Structure 1
Amino acid sequence: MSQESAIWPQGMPPENITLVLKLFTILDDSSDDSGQRLADEIFISDGRIKNGMHTFSGKAAEHGVLEIAGSRKKAWDAWSTRKHSILRVYSRSQEATDDILFLGTLAATFPNGKSATGEFCARIIFGLSDTQETRIKWFEVWADATPFVTAMNMKD
Protein backbone atom coordinates (compact mmCIF):
# COMPACT_ATOMS: atom_id res chain seq x y z
CA MET A 1 0.00 0.00 0.00
CA SER A 2 1.43 3.30 -1.01
CA GLN A 3 0.60 6.40 1.00
CA GLU A 4 3.54 8.66 0.21
CA SER A 5 1.72 10.69 -2.45
CA ALA A 6 -1.85 10.32 -1.13
CA ILE A 7 -3.73 13.53 -0.41
CA TRP A 8 -5.95 13.24 2.69
CA PRO A 9 -8.51 15.81 3.82
CA GLN A 10 -7.50 18.05 6.69
CA GLY A 11 -9.04 16.91 9.92
CA MET A 12 -8.95 13.20 8.98
CA PRO A 13 -8.34 11.32 12.25
CA PRO A 14 -5.02 9.45 12.15
CA GLU A 15 -6.75 6.21 13.21
CA ASN A 16 -8.98 6.39 10.12
CA ILE A 17 -5.95 6.82 7.86
CA THR A 18 -4.19 3.92 9.56
CA LEU A 19 -7.29 1.74 9.19
CA VAL A 20 -7.67 2.49 5.45
CA LEU A 21 -4.00 1.75 4.81
CA LYS A 22 -4.29 -1.48 6.79
CA LEU A 23 -7.39 -2.46 4.78
CA PHE A 24 -5.46 -2.25 1.51
CA THR A 25 -2.40 -3.95 2.96
CA ILE A 26 -4.60 -6.93 3.84
CA LEU A 27 -6.37 -6.85 0.45
CA ASP A 28 -2.92 -7.02 -1.21
CA ASP A 29 -1.91 -9.98 0.98
CA SER A 30 -2.45 -13.48 -0.41
CA SER A 31 -2.14 -15.17 3.01
CA ASP A 32 -4.81 -17.69 3.93
CA ASP A 33 -5.80 -15.66 6.99
CA SER A 34 -6.44 -12.38 5.12
CA GLY A 35 -10.23 -12.76 5.15
CA GLN A 36 -10.27 -13.46 8.86
CA ARG A 37 -8.00 -10.46 9.45
CA LEU A 38 -10.45 -8.24 7.55
CA ALA A 39 -13.28 -9.48 9.76
CA ASP A 40 -11.30 -9.19 13.00
CA GLU A 41 -9.18 -6.06 12.47
CA ILE A 42 -10.93 -3.87 9.91
CA PHE A 43 -14.74 -4.21 9.91
CA ILE A 44 -17.42 -3.86 12.55
CA SER A 45 -19.29 -7.10 13.27
CA ASP A 46 -22.06 -6.32 10.75
CA GLY A 47 -19.85 -4.47 8.27
CA ARG A 48 -20.24 -4.92 4.52
CA ILE A 49 -18.05 -5.01 1.44
CA LYS A 50 -19.53 -4.41 -2.02
CA ASN A 51 -17.35 -4.92 -5.05
CA GLY A 52 -19.23 -5.12 -8.32
CA MET A 53 -21.78 -7.92 -8.06
CA HIS A 54 -20.21 -9.35 -4.91
CA THR A 55 -21.38 -8.38 -1.43
CA PHE A 56 -19.82 -9.72 1.73
CA SER A 57 -21.32 -9.22 5.16
CA GLY A 58 -19.82 -9.58 8.62
CA LYS A 59 -22.80 -11.67 9.58
CA ALA A 60 -23.22 -15.35 8.76
CA ALA A 61 -23.99 -16.24 5.17
CA GLU A 62 -27.66 -15.93 4.30
CA HIS A 63 -29.65 -15.10 1.18
CA GLY A 64 -26.55 -15.46 -0.99
CA VAL A 65 -24.57 -12.90 1.03
CA LEU A 66 -21.16 -14.22 2.03
CA GLU A 67 -19.39 -13.32 5.23
CA ILE A 68 -16.28 -11.13 5.24
CA ALA A 69 -14.05 -13.79 6.82
CA GLY A 70 -14.60 -16.06 3.80
CA SER A 71 -14.38 -13.29 1.22
CA ARG A 72 -10.73 -13.90 0.33
CA LYS A 73 -10.89 -17.68 -0.25
CA LYS A 74 -10.93 -17.39 -4.06
CA ALA A 75 -9.65 -13.82 -4.30
CA TRP A 76 -6.23 -14.91 -5.52
CA ASP A 77 -7.33 -17.53 -8.06
CA ALA A 78 -6.77 -15.15 -10.99
CA TRP A 79 -4.06 -12.87 -9.51
CA SER A 80 -0.36 -13.31 -8.75
CA THR A 81 0.28 -9.90 -7.15
CA ARG A 82 -1.78 -6.82 -6.31
CA LYS A 83 -0.74 -3.39 -5.08
CA HIS A 84 -3.27 -0.68 -4.30
CA SER A 85 -2.27 2.98 -4.12
CA ILE A 86 -4.46 5.78 -2.82
CA LEU A 87 -4.22 9.01 -4.78
CA ARG A 88 -6.77 11.38 -3.23
CA VAL A 89 -9.31 11.14 -0.39
CA TYR A 90 -12.39 13.36 -0.12
CA SER A 91 -14.85 14.14 2.66
CA ARG A 92 -17.77 16.59 2.81
CA SER A 93 -15.97 18.72 5.39
CA GLN A 94 -13.27 18.61 8.04
CA GLU A 95 -15.93 17.62 10.55
CA ALA A 96 -17.46 14.87 8.39
CA THR A 97 -14.59 12.42 8.10
CA ASP A 98 -16.69 9.34 8.91
CA ASP A 99 -17.82 9.01 5.26
CA ILE A 100 -15.08 9.31 2.63
CA LEU A 101 -14.65 8.84 -1.11
CA PHE A 102 -11.31 8.23 -2.70
CA LEU A 103 -9.50 7.59 -5.95
CA GLY A 104 -6.74 5.07 -6.35
CA THR A 105 -4.91 2.70 -8.62
CA LEU A 106 -4.38 -1.03 -8.60
CA ALA A 107 -1.32 -2.60 -10.23
CA ALA A 108 -1.52 -6.36 -10.69
CA THR A 109 0.23 -9.32 -12.26
CA PHE A 110 -1.40 -12.55 -13.35
CA PRO A 111 -0.42 -16.22 -13.56
CA ASN A 112 0.20 -15.84 -17.32
CA GLY A 113 2.98 -13.32 -16.53
CA LYS A 114 1.06 -10.32 -17.85
CA SER A 115 0.36 -7.19 -15.82
CA ALA A 116 -2.08 -4.29 -15.79
CA THR A 117 -2.87 -1.13 -13.89
CA GLY A 118 -6.30 0.38 -13.47
CA GLU A 119 -8.06 3.08 -11.52
CA PHE A 120 -10.77 2.67 -8.92
CA CYS A 121 -13.07 4.78 -6.81
CA ALA A 122 -14.25 3.67 -3.39
CA ARG A 123 -16.40 4.79 -0.49
CA ILE A 124 -15.81 3.99 3.15
CA ILE A 125 -18.16 4.68 6.03
CA PHE A 126 -16.55 4.32 9.44
CA GLY A 127 -18.28 3.03 12.53
CA LEU A 128 -17.44 1.83 16.02
CA SER A 129 -16.78 -1.78 16.91
CA ASP A 130 -18.31 -3.52 19.93
CA THR A 131 -15.22 -2.35 21.86
CA GLN A 132 -15.71 1.26 20.63
CA GLU A 133 -12.71 1.17 18.30
CA THR A 134 -12.90 2.83 14.88
CA ARG A 135 -13.60 0.23 12.20
CA ILE A 136 -15.17 0.17 8.75
CA LYS A 137 -18.93 -0.22 8.48
CA TRP A 138 -19.29 -0.01 4.68
CA PHE A 139 -16.75 -0.40 1.88
CA GLU A 140 -17.85 -0.14 -1.75
CA VAL A 141 -15.59 -0.16 -4.80
CA TRP A 142 -16.22 0.88 -8.40
CA ALA A 143 -13.67 0.01 -11.08
CA ASP A 144 -13.34 -0.73 -14.76
CA ALA A 145 -12.13 -4.34 -14.98
CA THR A 146 -11.21 -4.07 -18.68
CA PRO A 147 -7.42 -3.68 -18.25
CA PHE A 148 -7.30 -6.65 -15.89
CA VAL A 149 -9.53 -8.95 -17.96
CA THR A 150 -7.50 -8.07 -21.07
CA ALA A 151 -4.20 -8.89 -19.35
CA MET A 152 -5.57 -12.11 -17.83
CA ASN A 153 -6.66 -13.36 -21.27
CA MET A 154 -3.47 -12.43 -23.15
CA LYS A 155 -1.40 -15.21 -24.61
CA ASP A 156 2.25 -15.06 -25.58
Structure 2
Amino acid sequence: MGYNTEGTEWPADNVTPSVKALIDRFFNLLDNTGSDVGNILADEVFAKDAVAQFGMHTFEGSEQIRKSRDNAWTLFTARQHRVLRVYTHDKEGTDLLFIGHVAMDLKNGKHVAGEFTGRFTIADASSPSPQLKSYAIWAVRSFLPSILQELTIRNRTLVHS
Protein backbone atom coordinates (compact mmCIF):
# COMPACT_ATOMS: atom_id res chain seq x y z
CA MET A 1 0.00 0.00 0.00
CA GLY A 2 1.02 3.58 -0.53
CA TYR A 3 1.77 6.49 1.77
CA ASN A 4 -1.94 7.24 2.27
CA THR A 5 -2.47 4.19 4.50
CA GLU A 6 1.03 3.00 5.42
CA GLY A 7 0.59 3.87 9.13
CA THR A 8 -3.16 3.32 9.40
CA GLU A 9 -4.57 1.57 12.47
CA TRP A 10 -7.20 -0.82 11.08
CA PRO A 11 -9.87 -2.82 12.95
CA ALA A 12 -8.60 -6.25 13.97
CA ASP A 13 -10.35 -8.50 11.47
CA ASN A 14 -13.24 -7.20 9.41
CA VAL A 15 -11.73 -4.87 6.83
CA THR A 16 -10.54 -6.98 3.91
CA PRO A 17 -7.24 -6.37 2.13
CA SER A 18 -9.18 -5.38 -1.00
CA VAL A 19 -11.11 -2.69 0.93
CA LYS A 20 -7.86 -1.41 2.44
CA ALA A 21 -6.38 -1.21 -1.06
CA LEU A 22 -9.50 0.60 -2.31
CA ILE A 23 -9.22 3.23 0.43
CA ASP A 24 -5.51 3.70 -0.25
CA ARG A 25 -6.15 4.08 -3.99
CA PHE A 26 -9.01 6.52 -3.38
CA PHE A 27 -6.89 8.90 -1.32
CA ASN A 28 -3.96 8.53 -3.69
CA LEU A 29 -6.26 9.64 -6.51
CA LEU A 30 -7.46 12.65 -4.49
CA ASP A 31 -3.82 13.72 -4.15
CA ASN A 32 -3.21 13.35 -7.90
CA THR A 33 -3.52 16.29 -10.31
CA GLY A 34 -3.99 14.07 -13.37
CA SER A 35 -6.79 14.90 -15.79
CA ASP A 36 -8.10 11.31 -15.70
CA VAL A 37 -8.79 11.17 -11.94
CA GLY A 38 -12.52 11.91 -12.31
CA ASN A 39 -12.91 9.10 -14.84
CA ILE A 40 -11.07 6.61 -12.63
CA LEU A 41 -13.16 7.56 -9.60
CA ALA A 42 -16.40 7.25 -11.59
CA ASP A 43 -15.55 4.04 -13.45
CA GLU A 44 -13.43 2.06 -11.00
CA VAL A 45 -13.57 3.40 -7.44
CA PHE A 46 -17.22 4.37 -6.92
CA ALA A 47 -20.34 2.28 -7.58
CA LYS A 48 -22.58 3.65 -10.35
CA ASP A 49 -25.17 4.97 -7.86
CA ALA A 50 -22.65 6.26 -5.31
CA VAL A 51 -22.77 9.57 -3.46
CA ALA A 52 -19.54 11.47 -2.80
CA GLN A 53 -18.95 14.61 -0.78
CA PHE A 54 -15.85 16.54 -1.79
CA GLY A 55 -15.36 19.78 0.10
CA MET A 56 -18.67 21.58 0.29
CA HIS A 57 -20.21 19.79 -2.71
CA THR A 58 -22.12 16.53 -3.06
CA PHE A 59 -21.97 14.46 -6.25
CA GLU A 60 -24.46 11.69 -7.05
CA GLY A 61 -23.92 8.96 -9.61
CA SER A 62 -21.13 8.24 -12.04
CA GLU A 63 -21.55 11.27 -14.29
CA GLN A 64 -21.45 13.79 -11.44
CA ILE A 65 -18.55 11.99 -9.77
CA ARG A 66 -16.72 12.00 -13.12
CA LYS A 67 -16.94 15.83 -13.17
CA SER A 68 -16.25 16.22 -9.44
CA ARG A 69 -12.52 16.75 -9.92
CA ASP A 70 -12.83 19.43 -12.63
CA ASN A 71 -12.14 22.25 -10.15
CA ALA A 72 -10.46 20.23 -7.41
CA TRP A 73 -7.14 22.04 -7.83
CA THR A 74 -8.43 25.62 -8.15
CA LEU A 75 -7.03 26.64 -4.75
CA PHE A 76 -4.30 24.04 -4.27
CA THR A 77 -0.87 23.17 -5.61
CA ALA A 78 -0.47 20.00 -3.54
CA ARG A 79 -2.44 17.78 -1.18
CA GLN A 80 -1.48 14.78 0.88
CA HIS A 81 -4.10 12.68 2.67
CA ARG A 82 -3.23 10.11 5.31
CA VAL A 83 -5.67 7.75 6.99
CA LEU A 84 -4.77 7.54 10.67
CA ARG A 85 -7.38 5.20 12.12
CA VAL A 86 -10.42 3.27 10.84
CA TYR A 87 -13.44 2.05 12.81
CA THR A 88 -16.14 -0.29 11.58
CA HIS A 89 -19.84 -0.37 12.40
CA ASP A 90 -20.59 -3.86 11.15
CA LYS A 91 -18.89 -7.23 11.08
CA GLU A 92 -18.85 -7.22 7.26
CA GLY A 93 -16.73 -4.07 7.15
CA THR A 94 -19.13 -2.20 4.86
CA ASP A 95 -19.70 0.88 7.05
CA LEU A 96 -16.47 2.59 8.10
CA LEU A 97 -15.63 5.75 10.00
CA PHE A 98 -12.12 7.11 9.86
CA ILE A 99 -9.85 9.82 11.17
CA GLY A 100 -7.54 11.31 8.60
CA HIS A 101 -4.96 14.03 8.24
CA VAL A 102 -4.57 16.28 5.22
CA ALA A 103 -1.77 18.69 4.38
CA MET A 104 -2.42 21.18 1.60
CA ASP A 105 -0.34 23.80 -0.17
CA LEU A 106 -2.48 26.70 -1.35
CA LYS A 107 -1.80 28.72 -4.49
CA ASN A 108 -1.37 31.81 -2.30
CA GLY A 109 1.74 30.22 -0.78
CA LYS A 110 0.15 29.17 2.51
CA HIS A 111 0.36 25.65 3.89
CA VAL A 112 -2.54 24.29 5.93
CA ALA A 113 -2.94 20.95 7.63
CA GLY A 114 -5.27 19.26 10.05
CA GLU A 115 -7.31 16.25 10.97
CA PHE A 116 -10.70 15.40 9.57
CA THR A 117 -13.20 12.60 10.00
CA GLY A 118 -15.15 10.76 7.38
CA ARG A 119 -17.33 7.84 6.50
CA PHE A 120 -17.20 5.26 3.74
CA THR A 121 -19.86 2.74 2.86
CA ILE A 122 -18.60 -0.11 0.74
CA ALA A 123 -20.33 -2.14 -1.98
CA ASP A 124 -19.25 -5.78 -2.29
CA ALA A 125 -16.76 -5.52 0.58
CA SER A 126 -15.96 -9.24 0.48
CA SER A 127 -15.24 -9.30 -3.26
CA PRO A 128 -11.79 -8.81 -4.80
CA SER A 129 -13.06 -5.56 -6.39
CA PRO A 130 -15.15 -3.62 -3.85
CA GLN A 131 -16.36 -0.11 -4.65
CA LEU A 132 -17.38 2.91 -2.61
CA LYS A 133 -21.13 3.42 -2.18
CA SER A 134 -20.64 6.68 -0.31
CA TYR A 135 -17.98 9.03 0.98
CA ALA A 136 -18.55 11.96 3.33
CA ILE A 137 -16.19 14.11 5.38
CA TRP A 138 -16.30 16.51 8.29
CA ALA A 139 -13.35 18.89 8.40
CA VAL A 140 -11.71 20.32 11.47
CA ARG A 141 -12.11 24.07 11.65
CA SER A 142 -8.42 24.79 12.24
CA PHE A 143 -7.49 24.87 8.55
CA LEU A 144 -10.80 25.97 7.04
CA PRO A 145 -10.35 29.74 7.59
CA SER A 146 -7.27 29.83 5.34
CA ILE A 147 -9.04 27.94 2.58
CA LEU A 148 -12.22 30.02 2.86
CA GLN A 149 -10.19 33.23 2.84
CA GLU A 150 -8.41 32.14 -0.34
CA LEU A 151 -11.73 31.20 -1.95
CA THR A 152 -13.20 34.60 -1.03
CA ILE A 153 -10.18 36.42 -2.49
CA ARG A 154 -10.39 34.39 -5.72
CA ASN A 155 -14.14 35.01 -6.04
CA ARG A 156 -13.64 38.77 -5.61
CA THR A 157 -10.92 38.71 -8.26
CA LEU A 158 -13.22 36.89 -10.68
CA VAL A 159 -16.10 39.33 -10.02
CA HIS A 160 -13.91 42.41 -10.47
CA SER A 161 -12.03 41.13 -13.53
Give me the TM-score of the superposition, normalised by structure 2: 0.81
User: Where is the helix percentage greater, Structure 1 or Structure 2?
Assistant: 2
Equivalent pair of 1:118/1:144 in contact (CA under 8 Å): yes
Deviations 1:29-61 (A, max 9, x none): 11111111100110011111024541101255x
Matches within 5 A, 1:98-109: 98-109=94-105
What value does the CA root-mean-square deviation take over the aligned residues?
2.3
Equivalent pair of 2:10/2:86 in contact (CA under 8 Å): yes
Structure 2 gaps, min length 5: 151-161
Equivalent pair of 2:4/2:27 in contact (CA under 8 Å): no
Which residue number corresponds to residue 45 of structure 1? 48
Which residue number corresponds to residue 136 of structure 1? 132
Equivalent pair of 1:45/1:58 in contact (CA under 8 Å): yes
For residues 49 and 56 of structure 1, the distance between their equivalents in structure 2, rounded to whole angstroms, comes to 5
| Residue identity (%) | 33
Structure 1 gaps, min length 5: 61-66
* Count of residues in Structure 1 that have an aligned counterpart in Structure 2: 146
Which residue number corresponds to residue 157 of structure 2? none
The answer to whether the aligner puts 1:2 opposite 2:4 as a matched pair is yes
CA apart distance, 1:150: 1.8
Give me the TM-score of the superposition, normalised by structure 1: 0.84
Deviations 1:57-78 (A, max 9, x none): 1255xxxxxx100000001000
Which residue number corresponds to residue 25 of structure 2? 22
